[in-house]
């Protein structure tokens, strides 16, 4: 990887880039001359580094991403590990990644299940945003099927009552908190991928309610959430017939609620 010059590092640091040296090296490796200058100006202007590079590293995988698509966070890797641990010992378990964005979670679950457990999953990913699902279709080519639509309405009817693990990184930022988010997210990621309603849990409530119809007996639902929101979401899970528990990963700063279908 080319070493970025000190001037480039200084410009990025002055713009508020916390990891200025790392970002400068990545940008310098991606382009040079006028093209590099254009990327630097866009980064200083607040565009996410991942959008500029066209990729993000998630759970050890390089995943394609583009402008207008939610950038998966490192904390969501914890959801991947929990999902793989919840897979049943059956052949070809069915996994659904709702609110899939670029498809990173579903891809990581499928790859980790194959690598660590020798399990091939039947993977389905869905999102309401066609820009996101186009990106996901590229990332999941040969690995899973991608569907465009509103939550469960996007899924094939044949999956009803047969999903073994349902993972959902639903939007969970309260509407009033969006304005205080970093500009990378606030100005360059789809609002629909961030805005969770008044308390941040509106989409998660819809997923929990629909899971009753879509999970297989003993199936697992996992939803990422904020730490203060987790007890409320756990109660929502319980109200919809799930045995709920809260999971945390301090290293990744992650919190999620995991529920198991009782029927």
- Residue 165: CATH number of its domain: 3.40.50.150
Q: Clarify whether residues 47 and 86 are in a common domain.
A: no
pTM listed for this prediction? 0.92
Of all residues in the chain, what percent carry a pLDDT higher than 70? 98
Q: Which domain holds residue 182?
A: 74-261
Q: Where do runs of H (alpha helix) occur along the chain?
A: 6-14, 20-30, 33-44, 49-53, 77-86, 104-117, 130-139, 183-186, 202-214, 230-239
* Cα→Cα distances 69→27, 79, 105, 107, Å: 20, 19, 14, 16
**What is the total count of domains within the chain?**
2
Tokens of 53: 């590079």
Q: Is residue 1 part of a domain?
A: no
Q: Clarify whether residues 149 and 79 are in a common domain.
A: yes
Residue whose tokens read 């309260």: 174
The pLDDT tens digits of the residues spanning 126-168 come to: 999 999 999 999 999 999 999 999 999 999 999 999 999 999 9
Return d(Cα 108, Cα 71) in angstroms, integer.
14
Q: Is residue 118 part of a domain?
A: yes
Q: 189: Cβ–Cβ under 8 A, 6 or more apart, which residues?
A: 48, 68, 69, 70, 71
The pLDDT tens digits of the residues spanning 194-251 come to: 999 999 999 999 999 999 999 999 999 999 999 999 999 999 999 999 999 999 999 9
């Amino acid at each position: 990887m080319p070493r970025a010059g000190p001037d480039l590092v200084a410009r990025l640091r002055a713009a508020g880039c916390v990891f200025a040296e790392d970002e400068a090296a990545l940008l310098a490796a991606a382009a040079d001359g006028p093209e590099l200058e254009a990327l630097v100006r866009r980064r200083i202007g607040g565009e996410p580094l991942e959008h500029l590079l066209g990729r993000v590293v998630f759970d050890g995988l390089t995943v394609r991403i583009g402008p207008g698509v939610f950038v998966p966070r490192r904390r969501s890797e914890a959801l991947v590990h929990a999902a793989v641990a919840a897979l049943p010992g059956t052949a070809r378990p069915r996994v659904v990644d709702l609110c899939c964005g670029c498809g990173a979670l579903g891809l990581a679950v499928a790859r980790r299940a194959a690598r660590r457990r020798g399990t091939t999953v039947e993977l389905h990913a869905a999102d309401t945003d066609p820009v996101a699902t186009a990106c996901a279709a590229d990332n999941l080519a040969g690995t899973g099927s991608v569907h465009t639509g509103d939550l469960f309405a996007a899924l094939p009817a044949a999956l009803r009552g047969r999903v073994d693990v349902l993972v959902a990184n639903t939007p969970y930022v309260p509407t009033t908190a969006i304005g205080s988010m970093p500009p990378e997210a606030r100005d360059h990621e789809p609002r629909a991928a961030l805005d969770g309603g008044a308390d941040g849990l509106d989409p998660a409530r819809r997923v929990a309610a629909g899971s009753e119809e879509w999970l297989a007996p003993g199936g697992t639902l996992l939803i990422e959430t904020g730490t203060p929101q987790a007890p409320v979401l756990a109660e929502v899970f319980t109200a919809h017939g799930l045995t709920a528990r809260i999971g945390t990963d301090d290293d990744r700063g992650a919190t999620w609620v995991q529920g198991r279908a009782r029927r």
